[in-house]
Amino acid sequence: MSAPPAPPMPRTAGSAAEAYRLEGELPMVEQPAVPFVEIETVRAREFIPAAKEAFGALIAEQGQAKLIRPTFNWAGRNSLFPLHWGLACCAIEFASAFSARWDSERFGIVPRSSPRQCDLMIVNGTVTWKVAHKLITLYEQMPEPKWVIAMGNCATGGGPFRTAYSVVPGVDKLVPVDVYIAGCPPRPEAMIDGILRLEELIRERRE
């Protein structure tokens, strides 16, 4: 099989800015310029002593017991790793949320393929009885602390398929759910909003 050679470059060079200019028919709101924050860069081997010093000072000031949980929650909620798996329609919007337009990685959300690396399970689609025990296995393999988001109407309550013989009417019959996102399917904005709501829940987490 001899595929043709690579063609020459197109007339216009592509850039994301140009792609979005196409939808510029609608009046766009002028965004104020965001001031650039200078960040002091430290080398990896300098980071740990610097962090130790800073935390030592904080612990001396506030006490260890008071500080550990908020620090832990702060780190946890800013690096949520959802499980990378697609159940149904919502999985496509889940994937869209990681594309250039929405870019969920801004919020520290990076999908991982192994449940042992994840702390968030986004149930993005219809759950059938055939996959129910596999879903529970995956949930059990995730390390604590872990959260579950039911994305879309099917995961919330069966959606349009609630009367079907093979569909679990809501994933909360199987695993505890923290946040429900409505929509069929929810837009990527809604998914990001759901994750931000979950971050609020994590902020208040004690125990």
Buried b (16+ CB within 10 A) or exposed e, 43-65: eeeeeeeeeeeeeeeeeeeeeee
9 near another protein (CB under 8 A)? yes
Residues 125, 89: contact at Cβ < 8 Å?
yes
**Looking at 5-13, 27-35, 45-53, 65-73, which segment touches another protein (CB under 8 A)?**
5-13
Dihedral, 162, 164, 167, 171 alpha carbons, nearest 10:
10
CA dist list (Å): 25 to 21, 22, 130 = 8, 7, 47
101 near another protein (CB under 8 A)? yes
59 near another protein (CB under 8 A)? no
**Looking at 30-38, 46-54, 129-137, 198-206, which segment touches another protein (CB under 8 A)?**
129-137
89 near another protein (CB under 8 A)? yes
27 near another protein (CB under 8 A)? no
Q: Of 94, 140, 91, whose CA–CA distance to 116 is shortest?
A: 140
- Of 3, 33, 34, 44, the one binding another protein by CB under 8 A: 3
164 near another protein (CB under 8 A)? yes
115 near another protein (CB under 8 A)? yes
Residues 169, 157: contact at Cβ < 8 Å?
yes
- Of 73, 76, 82, 83, the one binding another protein by CB under 8 A: 83
CA dist list (Å): 1 to 5, 6, 7 = 12, 15, 17
163 near another protein (CB under 8 A)? yes
- Of 76, 77, 82, 93, the one binding another protein by CB under 8 A: 93
At what angle are helices 188-203 and 89-96 packed, to 10 degrees?
A: 80
- Count CA atoms within 13 Å of residue 49 on its CB side: 4
**Which positions lie near another protein, rule CB under 8 A?**
1, 3-12, 14, 16, 18-19, 22-23, 25, 83-89, 91-93, 95-96, 99-101, 113, 115, 125-126, 128-131, 134, 138, 158, 160-167, 169-170, 184-185, 187
